[in-house]
C-alpha cells in the first residue's frame, strides 16, 4: 500500500457495476459461527492457526531495519524474501526460523509487489515500485535484468503519472508478464517474456486492482486471478484478458491472491466497511478450489440478511493483525504475514493448529 496515493482511489463504490458474468455470493453457513473459545486460535475448520509469539527476525549482528513491509515470496530453497520500503535493505531473505540470510536492494523507495518466477530452473524476482512507477526483474542477488516503465504504447495512458504498478504475475509456461496498475488507472497490461506489449485489459468493477496471480489449479484451463480491492471483488480472467466472472466479498478489502495447493489466500487489509478507513481492520481469508471461503483467520463472515457492518466481512475484536498486506506459506503450512504502516513491525508467523 502507498499512503501517498490519493484517497479517492481507495473508495469502494457501493454502486459499482456488477459484471454480467458475476458468480454467486459464497455460502457462509460454516463460517458464521463466533470465534474459537480459545482466543489465541484463529480461523475455522481444518485451517486454524495460532501466532508463534517467539518467532521474529534473527540477525547475526544488528537488527535489520524495515519500514512498510509489503509482500513475501518463498524460494525453491525454502527460504523466504520480504520486500520493504526501507532503502537500507529493500529485500530481506530469511529462513523459516527467522534467521536473516542476506539483505539487498537500496534503490526502491516504493517497493510494493514481489513475485517469483522460475525460468528453466533459474529463479528471478519481479518487483514493483510505486514511487518510481516501474516494474523491475532482478536476479536473486538483486542485479537488474529488465525494467518496464509506464506502458505508453498501449494508448491507454497520456502521461507517466497515470501509471502506478502494484503487482505482477508471470506465466510459468511462456514467461508472459502481467502488470496490475492498482494505484494508477486499473489497467492490466500483458507483456511477452521479452517485454513486448501483447494486450491491455480493464473490466467493469476494476477498482484498485491490487493483485494478480497466475492460476493453474486447473492445468487444462489456466487463468488469472485479479483482486479489485476497493470493490471487494475477486475476478477470474482468461490469459488473454477476457472476463470469466467474479466473486463478491462485501466489506473485505483483499490484497493480492496467493495460491497454495488448491486454495487461495489473501491478506484482507481492511474490513467491515464499504469505504476506506484509517484503522485497518484486517484478517486473512482462505478460499477453496472453487473460490469459496473456507476459513477467515482472525475474521468473521457476514450475518445473513443483516445490514450495516454485520452484513460485511469483518475482523474479530481485538483485531489480530496490524494492517496485514500479504501472506506466504511454507512447506509445513505455516503462514507468514507482512504488515504495512505498522510502526516498522516484522512479519508474523502463524502455525497450524491440529
pLDDT digits (tens, 9 = 90+) for 42-94: 999 999 999 999 999 999 888 999 999 999 999 999 999 999 999 999 999 99
What are φ and ψ of residue 153, in 5° steps? -70, -15
64 in Cβ contact with 103 (< 8 Å)? yes
Q: What is the mean pLDDT of residues 148-177?
A: 98
Contacts of 216 (CB under 8 A, 6+ apart): 172, 222
Domain boundaries, the chain: 7-14+21-352
Q: What is the pLDDT of residue 32?
A: 60
Q: In angstroms, rounded to a whole number, what is the distance separating the alpha carbons of residues 236 and 291?
A: 10
DSSP string, 150-170: --GGGSS-SSGGG----EEEE
| Range in 66-80, 132-146, 294-308 the model is least confident about | 294-308
Q: How many beta carbons lie within 10 A of that of residue 180, not counting itself?
A: 30
pLDDT digits (tens, 9 = 90+) for 210-243: 999 999 999 999 999 999 999 999 999 999 999 9
200 in Cβ contact with 189 (< 8 Å)? yes
Residue 4, pLDDT > 60, answer no
Around 281, how many Cα atoms within 13 Å sit in the side-chain half-sphere?
Answer: 19
Q: What is the mean pLDDT of residues 183-195?
A: 98
Q: C-alpha dihedral over 147, 197, 9, 115, to 10 degrees? A: -50
Residue 179 C-alpha cell reads as 502488470
Q: What is the pTM of this model?
A: 0.91
CATH class of 7-14+21-352: mainly beta
Q: What is the pLDDT of residue 234?
A: 98
User: pLDDT averaged over the chain?
Assistant: 91
Angle at 302 between CA 301 and CA 303, to 5 degrees: 120
Amino acid at each position: 500500500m502507498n499512503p501517498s496515493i490519493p484517497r479517492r482511489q481507495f473508495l469502494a463504490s457501493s454502486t459499482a457495476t456488477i459484471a454480467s458474468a458475476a458468480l454467486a455470493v459464497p455460502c457462509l453457513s460454516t463460517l458464521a459461527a463466533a470465534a474459537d473459545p480459545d482466543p489465541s486460535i484463529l480461523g475455522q475448520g481444518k485451517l486454524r492457526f495460532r501466532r508463534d509469539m517467539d518467532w521474529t527476525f534473527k540477525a547475526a549482528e544488528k537488527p535489520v531495519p524495515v519500514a512498510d513491509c509489503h509482500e513475501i515470496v518463498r524460494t525453491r530453497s525454502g527460504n523466504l524474501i520480504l520486500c520493504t520500503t526501507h532503502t537500507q535493505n529493500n529485500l530481506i531473505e530469511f529462513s523459516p526460523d527467522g534467521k536473516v540470510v542476506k539483505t539487498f536492494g537500496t534503490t526502491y523507495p516504493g517497493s510494493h509487489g514481489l513475485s517469483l518466477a522460475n525460468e528453466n530452473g533459474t529463479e528471478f524476482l519481479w518487483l514493483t515500485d510505486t514511487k518510481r512507477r516501474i516494474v523491475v526483474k532482478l536476479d536473486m542477488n538483486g542485479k537488474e535484468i529488465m525494467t518496464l516503465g509506464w506502458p505508453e504504447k498501449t494508448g491507454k495512458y497520456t502521461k507517466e503519472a497515470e501509471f502506478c504498478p502494484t503487482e505482477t504475475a508471470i506465466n510459468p509456461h511462456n514467461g508472459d508478464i502481467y502488470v496490475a496498475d492498482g494505484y494508477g488507472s486499473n489497467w492490466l497490461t500483458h507483456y511477452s517474456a521479452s517485454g513486448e506489449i501483447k494486450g491491455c485489459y480493464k473490466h467493469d468493477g476494476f477498482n484498485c486492482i491490487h493483485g494478480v496471480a497466475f492460476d493453474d489449479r486447473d492445468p487444462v484451463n489456466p487463468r488469472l486471478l485479479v483482486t479489485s480491492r476497493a470493490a471487494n471483488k475477486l475476478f477470474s480472467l482468461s490469459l488473454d484478458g477476457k472476463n470469466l466472472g467474479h466473486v463478491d466479498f462485501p466489506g473485505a478489502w483483499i490484497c493480492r491472491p496467493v495460491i497454495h495447493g488448491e486454495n487461495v489466500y489473501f491478506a484482507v487489509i481492511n474490513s467491515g466497511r464499504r469505504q476506506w478507513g484509517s484503522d485497518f481492520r484486517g484478517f486473512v481469508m482462505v478460499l477453496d478450489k472453487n473460490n469459496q471461503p473456507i476459513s477467515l483467520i482472525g475474521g468473521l463472515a457476514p450475518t445473513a440478511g443483516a445490514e450495516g457492518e454485520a452484513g460485511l466481512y469483518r475482523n474479530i475484536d481485538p483485531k489480530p493483525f496490524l494492517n496485514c498486506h500479504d501472506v506466504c506459506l511454507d512447506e509445513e503450512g505455516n503462514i507468514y504475514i507482512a504488515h504495512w504502516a505498522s510502526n516498522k513491525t516484522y512479519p508474523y508467523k502463524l502455525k497450524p493448529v491440529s
